[in-house]
Amino acid sequence: MDVAIQLGLLAALVGTRGLFSFLSIRNVRYADRLISEKRAWIESTLGVDDSDELQDYHRLTTGLSELQGWLGLAAVVIGLYAGGLSWAVDLLTATGLSPVSQGVIFLIGVVIAAQLFSLPFTLFSTFGVEEIFGFNEASPRLFVRDQLIQLVLSIVLTAVLGGAVLAAIERLPTLWPAAAWGLFVAFSLSMQILYPRVIAPLFNDFEPIEDGEQREAIEAVFDRAGFETSDIYTMDASRRSTQLNAYFVGFGRTKRVVLFDTLLDRMTTPELQSVLAHELAHWKEAHIWKQFAGGAVRMAVVVAALGWLIDFAPLSAAFGVPTAATYGSLTLAILVVSPLLELTAPLTNKLSLKHEREADAYAAEVMSPQAMIDALGRLAGENLANPFPHPWYAAFHYSHPPIPERIRLLEQRENDESTATPQPPAAGDD
């Protein structure tokens, strides 16, 4: 039975990775064909004069992601099947520390190893790919600072959350999945408060939009949408990249809309207003809470599966992990569940896709369909985003509808509005 379990897990990990590589290859080929066929549309709608550059950027980023994915899987498989997990458990058990303390040390070690593994790829992406295509603005010193802060944050959050889950497993052997789910909910809620106020400012400076033309334009959007002007901040994203973005985060008094300074510099006033109206829709339509509820339901299923797998002794025995080392059993359970999470991504993305379409429609209503179309074209063109993802690839990887689909829906809305608008009678008509 041990061999069957080992082969089953290996097949699930390699098979899932192989499926996503197949989808990536299909995605690149699909995009190359459509980009070649629709060069005129790309130039007129996205403002990209050199579509070859867009193709090259897409190929390089995809190739780098695939290389990292396969090497990461190889490291996990070699470490697991060569006895690395059981060796680490034996080493920590010999310390005489409590299982929870052993688990926290183990998890911290995994976090450090993961960041060290990803470091060469992040370096190449930042100072290689992003530099070649004119996106990178980060200095080596800023890069090192970011990596160190990210590492410290990861260690702290992993120690706190991981330690709490392991303690729940030890003290509530039958009820710990419910306790772990409650911890997830509490952690997710607290991050909505801590991220905009504590974590994000560690990496970027946030300043309220100053008085002037842009402030007046922003206030006009709030007026049209029926909101009181609230916390609107600009973020110094240009310190690291020239790419454009905006996002909404938080709830209650901690909610804020964040606009990249690159967005403010390169978008026209109507485009900027449309992006802001889109973000306000997530607030107005309670998308944040709906996404939170969806995530909570998904996590409930995950922790239930983990609870069953931790108690499944043959799984731990197959890899030489003693059942007393709950952190080792939890690691194996996570490896079993991770392919299932990846394969069910379309279900999670479906809710997000619906919300993004609603936000686009709201932006078109508050501003105009054409203004939102121009904003989407600007965002995609400036960021060299692939406008034509393969439908299968998009189902697993895209939380936003592809740009051509979003533009088509907005154009359809604009046509419907113009058709529905009563026309004045011609001269001489009764």
Strands 256-260 and 206-208: unpaired
Q: Is the pLDDT of residue 357 over 90?
A: yes
Query: Please, where are the H alpha helices in 172-238?
Result: 176-194, 200-203, 213-225
- Angstrom CA distances, 83 to 12, 42, 338, stand at 19, 52, 20
Beta-carbon contacts of 333 under 8 Å, excluding residues fewer than 6 positions away, are: 305, 306, 309, 310, 315
Nearest of 284, 274, 288 to residue 363 by alpha carbon: 274
Contact 5, 321 (CB under 8 A): no
**What's the rounded mean pLDDT across residues 256-285?**
86
Q: Is the pLDDT of residue 410 over 70?
A: yes
For helices 140-171 and 176-194, angle between their N-to-C axes, nearest 10 degrees: 150
Q: What is the pTM of this model?
A: 0.89
pLDDT at residue 228 in the model: 67
Mean pLDDT of the chain: 89
Give the H/E segment covering residue 256: strand 256-260
Q: Which residue has the tokens 């993305």?
A: 349
Written as six digits, the tokens of 417 are 């509005």
pLDDT 10s digits, 172-198: 988 999 999 999 999 988 888 888 888
When pLDDT is cut at 50, 70 and 90, the band that residue 286 belongs to is: confident
Strands 232-235 and 256-260: parallel
SS3 at position 208: strand
pLDDT at residue 219 in the model: 83
pLDDT at residue 413 in the model: 86
Written as six digits, the tokens of 419 are 């058709």
Residues in the chain: 430
Q: How far apart are CA 40 and CA 275, in angstroms?
A: 25
pLDDT at residue 309 in the model: 92
Written as six digits, the tokens of 351 are 């809710």
pLDDT at residue 229 in the model: 60
Q: Is the pLDDT of residue 316 over 60?
A: yes
Name the residue type at position 2: D
Nearest of 344, 261, 359 to residue 301 by alpha carbon: 344
